[in-house]
Chains A and B, each alone.
Chain A
Amino acid sequence: MSLKAVSARPIIVPPELPANISASSAGVTGSVLSASDLTLEAVSEILAQATLLEREDPIQRAQRLAKRRIALLFYESSTRTRTSFELAAKGLGADTTLVSSLSSSIEKGETLKDTGLTLRALGAEAIILRHPSSGSPWLLERETQLPVLNAGDGMHEHPSQALLDLRTILAHLRPGIEAVTAETLAGVTVAITGDILHSRVARSNMTLLPKLGARVILCGPRELLPEIAAQTGPGVEIERDFTRALQQSQVVMMLRIQAERLAGLQLDLEEYKAGYQLTEERLAKHAPKALVMHPGPIIRGLELTGEVADGPQSLILEQVRHGVAIRMALVQRALTAQVRKGAGA
């Protein structure tokens, strides 16, 4: 164990190593686990399908997935996402069943794998999952081989939200466009402001929007927006100054401060509001034409004022409306585009 002199060898670059799993593999057709799974072609199809289904006669539409079975597996309470997916599935005629965190099996400590296998055995053909653990949709998909729609996993992603946000943005900035390309949103800057660290909405949007050529500015204090966030992909930048972010943006997405996830982080809310709250004055002065969005639930008086939420630039309720159309398209895609592998039940 003699101590040898440190050699002046250059930094070693190891040869390529086999990677076991790629970071964004959706193994089952029809699944949407991450916004990174979606090609521009898939996005175009989903957008077109959403429009078609939205306009379709409700009686006819209800024949599309008549008596098909979809399980909603919600380990977290949720109003809009759950209702939106449920109405979407029911609008297509599917039977839905909700398993929530108050369900007996979950309270008794059954694993996600076993709950998924039980739902499959009960005849579920697709599962819509909301779960507090990042990555849980991968586990569920792998174990059940069913299409899984990620309805929010931990601090990771919420891809259907990014799609409905995209549809909302397109409706205003690129009306009529559904077949998107890598340039569709060229020249558009979207400022995502607030609690980026804990936001699955931010992660999905910062993955999806740059694919269409949008520039994404992340804005927020260091505690809620670590520098590392800018390294997640192309087209993403950090701007700490909210005023400067607003001045550059055509779209402003505000995020809720997720007090339940702060985990010991000390945040001075008054200071936060002074720096990042979207007020009528700020909006009028720095971004008088910008679209104001928010994935909800909103906390009036914290990340934005009630006046802004109800104001003429706010698209918050329009987002909710687009959500049902987008989720109809996703549910239909999950049940019809799939090639089922080993689904024994």
Chain B
Amino acid sequence: MSTVLIRGGHLIDPAAGVDAPRDIVLKDGRVAEVAEPGKTSLGKAKASSDLQIIDAKGLTIAPGLVDIHVHLREPGQGHKETIATGTTAAAAGGFTSVAAMPNTVPTNDSPEITRWMQAPERGASVRVFPIGAATRALKGEVLNDYAALKAAGVVAVTDDGHPILKDSIMREVLINATRSGLSVIQHAEDTRLTGGCSMNAGPMAFRLGLRGMPPEAEYGLVERDIRLVTELSMNGKGDKNGHRPHLHVAHTSTAQAVAAVRQARRNGLRVTCEVAPHHFLLTEEHVGAYDTNAKMNPPLRSAADRDAMIQGILDGVVDAIATDHAPHAAHEKEVEFERAPNGITGLESALGLSLRWLHHEWKLPIGRVLSLLSAQPAALLGLKGRGTLTVGSFADVMVFDPKQEWTFHAKDSRSKSKNTPFDGWTMQGRVHWTISEGRVVYKAEAL
């Protein structure tokens, strides 16, 4: 494998506490050297067949981004996205690791499917970490074999869009996942309160004549899950092996859910949460004239909820920014609002939106933004050697211009689907190169 020298750039590696000009050498898929400008062992070497040199002058070098919540639609729904197209979009967005949800067809509830998703034949541009189904066929009834799933490569378990409603089953899931050293991710939605609903409950839903999902459907389940984690944490001591359950709340959207997570953390529990860019930027008003590209689950909420997401990000209770990248074919979204599937794409806009709004507008230091998109999500799923560029780590690198403004056009997206509410939005922070385990997997055109 060839060697890559990235030189002349400014390295921001929050996990390693580095924010300085650095050259970096990648060898055999790992970070081989990080040194002051011109001080690597390669010195002033010239490019050759064995050495690729990336001139990062004026650019920032950072760990490749880690998205812990994507839908790659394979197996089974290749018309929306494939592992190849989804990871190509990920690479264009600066991501080098994506965790794929198990709501595929068939569901990823067996080691065979987990391995199938990771097989080289899928043509992934970046590393795919499958998340296994917590229960068979996402039905919330029979637990899967977590040890076998973990051995095959899953990094967490979840029933994804099918929340585990039964207390007894969720309890079992937490116990068994903890025993296998896996995190439990919950899509918090009490579906007994959301039947037939297609947006947030509020004045907008009333005006549009749509049934609304009440915020309690989300935070009620978060509170229930935290109660279970409290019981199982044995006063913080964990089980007989010292393992404590880890509950991760997916795509938090309500102020009360963030508050519940905040309180759980104060109580010393291992409870984490993620927020998607659309939930820290948009509100229910963006549904506008029944725009199906603003239809997602959880739905866009009130302005107060949106503000709570920003507050949670700024004060650190939110652990990760995750896209919930959910591609759907155009014809699937060109239907009546109530019939349209939930979800939007997000891999190519997450960095641009985060830098434009969290960093530029709300003054969150750039290192914190990058940490929310790389080091923290990697730590959350226990992805060792990812989300940092210390020597020995995987050579997962993003080289970007944090100041460059650009306009996102859905039609240019690498994803197979174009369902995004951010079409035409101005972003900040342009990815120039994405390197996954030492291979250049994305290079911006016409730089």
Of A134-142, A271-279, A309-317, the one contacting chain B is A134-142
Q: Are B336 and A112 in contact (CB under 8 A)?
A: yes
Give residues 245-271 of A contacting B (CB, 8 Å). Answer: 263-264
In the bound complex, residues from chain B placing their C-beta under 8 Å from that of A104 are none
Counting chain A residues whose Cβ lies within 8 A of the other chain, the interface size class is: 35 or more
Please state if A228 and B203 are interface contacts (CB–CB under 8 Å).
yes
Cβ–Cβ contact A23 & B425, under 8 A: no
Considering only residues 149-184 of chain A, those with a C-beta below 8 Å from chain B are: 153-157
Chain B positions 171 through 213: 1 when the CB is less than 8 Å from some CB of chain A, otherwise 0: 0000000000000000000000001100001111011111100
Please determine whether A226 and B206 come into contact, CB atoms closer than 8 angstroms. yes
Contact of B362 among A12, A25, A136 (CB under 8 A): A12
Cβ of B50 within 8 Å of any chain A Cβ, yes or no, is no
Interchain CB contact (< 8 A) of A203 among B209, B282, B337: B209
Using Cβ atoms and an 8 Å threshold, which residues of chain B touch A2? Answer: 316
Write out the residue numbers on chain B whose beta carbons fall within 8 Å of the beta carbon of A1.
272, 319, 376, 379-380
Q: Does A79 contact B (CB under 8 A)?
A: no
| CB < 8 Å neighbour of B314 from A3, A9, A200 | A9
Which residues of A have CB within 8 Å of B196? 263
Main secondary structure of the interface of A (DSSP, over half): loop
Q: Is A120 an interface residue (CB 8 A)?
A: no
Q: Which residues of A contact B207 (CB under 8 A)?
A: 23, 203, 232-233
Q: Which of B266, B282, B338, B357 contacts A134 (CB 8 A)?
A: B338
Q: Which residue of chain B has its CB nearest to the CB of A111?
A: B335
B337 touching A11 by the CB < 8 A rule?
Answer: no
Among A13-21, A39-47, A327-335, the stretch in contact with B: A13-21
Given contacts A14-B306, A14-B357, A155-B209, contact A133 B339 (CB under 8 A): yes
> What is the bound-complex CA distance between A228 and B424, given in angstroms?
33
Does the CB pair B291–A21 fall under 8 Å?
Answer: yes
Q: What are the residues of chain B within 8 A of A23 when measuring CB–CB?
A: 204, 207-208, 285, 287-289
A4 touches B315 (CB 8 A): yes
A320 CA / B285 CA spacing, docked (Å): 35
Interface residues of B in 211-225 (CB under 8 A from A): 211
A contact residues around B266 at 8 Å (CB)? 3
Residue of A nearest to B203 (CB): A231
Complexed CA–CA distance, A230 and B201 (Å): 14
Q: Hey, what's the 0/1 contact readout for B302-344 against A, CB within 8 Å counting as 1?
A: 0000110011001111010000000000010011111100000
Q: Flag if B336 contacts A139 (CB, 8 Å).
A: yes
Q: Is A6 an interface residue (CB 8 A)?
A: yes
Taking A23-B285, A232-B207 as known contacts, 20 extra A-B pairs with beta carbons closer than 8 A to each other, sorted by chain A number, are: A4-B315, A5-B315, A7-B315, A12-B362, A20-B291, A20-B293, A20-B423, A21-B288, A22-B289, A24-B289, A111-B334, A113-B335, A133-B339, A134-B338, A135-B210, A135-B289, A155-B210, A228-B206, A232-B203, A233-B207
Can you list 14 contacts pairing A with B, beta carbon distance less than 8 Å?
Answer: A1-B319, A3-B265, A3-B317, A5-B315, A6-B315, A9-B311, A14-B281, A15-B361, A18-B424, A135-B209, A153-B209, A154-B338, A155-B210, A263-B211
Q: When A and B form their complex, which 8 residue pairs have the shortest distance between CB atoms, in order from nearest?
A: A156-B209, A135-B290, A21-B288, A4-B316, A155-B209, A133-B336, A134-B209, A231-B203
